[in-house]
Each structure stands twice: as C-alpha cells, then as structure tokens.
C-alpha cells in the first residue's frame, strides 16, 4: 500500500516537478530550533582512502551541515512534510552549481583554498587545492565498490542490499522494488544503515550524489541511486545526467578532499 505522504514525492521524482524557484530555495524557517544546527555538531567526518589517494566524507552532506555553513536549507522546498526536513537527513533539492559553491564555502570556513572557480554555469577545478570538492566519478565508484564485487555498495545482491542501502523496497510499498526491507519508508538520517567495507555510508541509496565530471552536452553526472529507486536504477554502475542548475527531490552530494604530497609528508 502506498503511504499517503508519498504521493507528492513520487510525483516529483517522476518528473512532474523537477525545478524550484529561487524564492522557494531561499526559505529560511525550519521546523526546529536553528541554533541547534551548529557547524561543530555537523562537520564532515572524512575517511582517508589510500587506494584512491583522497579523503571522502563518511556520509552524504546533511541539512545540518549545509545550513550551518550556507545559511539556508534547500530541502525545505522539496516537500511539505516534516519527514523531509531534519538536521541529520541528507540535504537535497540543490543543483550541481549549489554543490560546488557549498564546497567553496566549506573550504573558506576551514581556511582552505577554494577548489573551484565558478563563472555562471562554468566551473573550473583547481586540482592543486586541498579544499573541499566533489569526488570525481572514478573516486566515487572505487569508494562505492570498496574493493569488492557486486552491483550495490556493500551488497552483492538485491536481497542483501537493505542492510546497507535505503532504497525502494517492501517498507516503501513498492512491488517492483528490492526483495527485502530496510525498515525505512522514506529518506533516512545519514548512517542509519551499515557502511560498506571502507566505512562509507549510503553510497547506494538515500539520495543520488552529484560527482565531478567533465560536462557532457552541458550536463553533469550524479550517481548512487536514492530511496525511491529499485534494483535496476540503484546499481553502482548507473550514471545519470542533468543540467548544472537542475534541482531534484532525490539529488544531494558528499564532499571530498585531495591528499596533496605536502600534506602526506607532514602526516608521516
């Protein structure tokens, strides 16, 4: 049985509403005390990935982190249910351009050199920067698979996926979803389920994640599947594209950082 509050979400996810106005995205009132959403309580936990040569956030970027750094919460615009808003829920309803701008804001917050130069829809990555950025597609895919084989991050089969991935399954009421139950009928707080072999949560499911890629016909790539996706669409290998200013109910991101030679020498 479809849950009543899912009607709006499914309509948006199916393309009946994929864009949001600046006025909607500028909403600044949240149904919780914003003073509790501090940067200190939400700063990213970065995992060193020696096989990839970079740092990757253990979880998707939360609404608490996004709002504490940027001053706004775009998740307010993608549903009128309290189920969509919360400090530890992944932020969504933001574009590729929003994501790279946030990375620069986060770098500034920690006195790091910005990784991106943004000029309209054009974004240039300063590869020598140690600031926050989006993972490259290759980094993201290697991190999702974590040295293992299987179609999902941390799971070798659709039957096993519900232990590590918040996806469309029996708890969502989808007959065409995963043949298991993760117990989560909607978007979930980050790290609600088990991590993959490299300690990374939600590389499959919860929200799709923008990654860094060269533009393809002017579009950017996102990976990983979301809580409304079934076994076919949630596979690690699946790639989707969208315009850099596109915003969707299922689109979020996680941050990465490069490990530069000088930093590696200091660490030794």
List the domains of the chain with CATH numbers.
Answer: 32-260 (3.90.1580.10)
Q: Determine the pLDDT at residue 172.
A: 80
3-state helix, strand, coil in the chain (%, to 5): 25, 15, 55
The 10s digit of each residue's pLDDT in 18-36 is 444 444 444 444 445 556 7
| Residue 259 reports pLDDT greater than 80 | yes
Q: 56 vs 14, which has greater pLDDT?
A: 56
The 10s digit of each residue's pLDDT in 112-165 is 999 999 999 999 999 999 999 999 999 999 999 999 989 999 999 999 999 999
Residue ranges with strand state E in 29-127: 46-49, 54-57, 116-119, 122-125
Whole-model pTM? 0.86
Q: Which helix (H) or strand (E) holds 137?
A: helix 137-145
End-to-end CA distance of the chain: 56
pLDDT band (50, 70, 90) for residue 233? very high
Collapsing DSSP to helix, strand or coil, 140 comes out as helix
């Amino acid at each position: 049985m479809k849950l009543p509050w899912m009607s709006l979400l499914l309509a948006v996810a199916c393309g009946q509403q994929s864009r949001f106005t600046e006025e909607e995205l500028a909403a600044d009132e949240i149904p919780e005390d914003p003073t509790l959403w501090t940067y200190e309580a939400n700063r990213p936990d970065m995992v060193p990935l020696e096989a990839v040569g970079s740092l990757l956030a253990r979880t998707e970027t939360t609404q608490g982190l996004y709002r504490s750094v940027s001053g706004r919460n775009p998740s307010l615009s993608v549903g009128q249910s309290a189920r969509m808003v919360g400090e530890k829920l992944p932020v969504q309803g933001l574009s590729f351009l929003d994501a790279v701008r946030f990375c620069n804001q986060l770098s500034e917050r920690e006195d790091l050199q910005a990784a991106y130069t943004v000029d309209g829809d054009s974004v240039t990555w300063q590869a020598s920067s140690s600031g926050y950025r989006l993972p490259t597609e290759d980094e993201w895919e290697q991190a999702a698979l974590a040295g293992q084989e299987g179609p999902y991050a941390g799971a070798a089969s659709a039957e096993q996926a519900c232990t590590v991935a918040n996806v469309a399954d029996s708890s969502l009421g989808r007959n065409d979803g995963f043949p298991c139950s993760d117990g989560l009928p909607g978007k979930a707080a980050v790290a609600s389920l088990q991590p993959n072999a490299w300690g990374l949560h939600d590389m499959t499911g919860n929200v799709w994640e923008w990654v860094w890629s060269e533009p393809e016909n002017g579009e950017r790539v996102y990976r990983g599947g979301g809580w409304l996706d079934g076994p076919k669409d949630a596979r690690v290998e699946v790639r989707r594209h969208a315009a850099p200013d596109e915003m969707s109910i299922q689109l979020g991101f996680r941050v990465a950082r490069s490990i530069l030679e000088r930093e590696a020498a200091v660490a030794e």
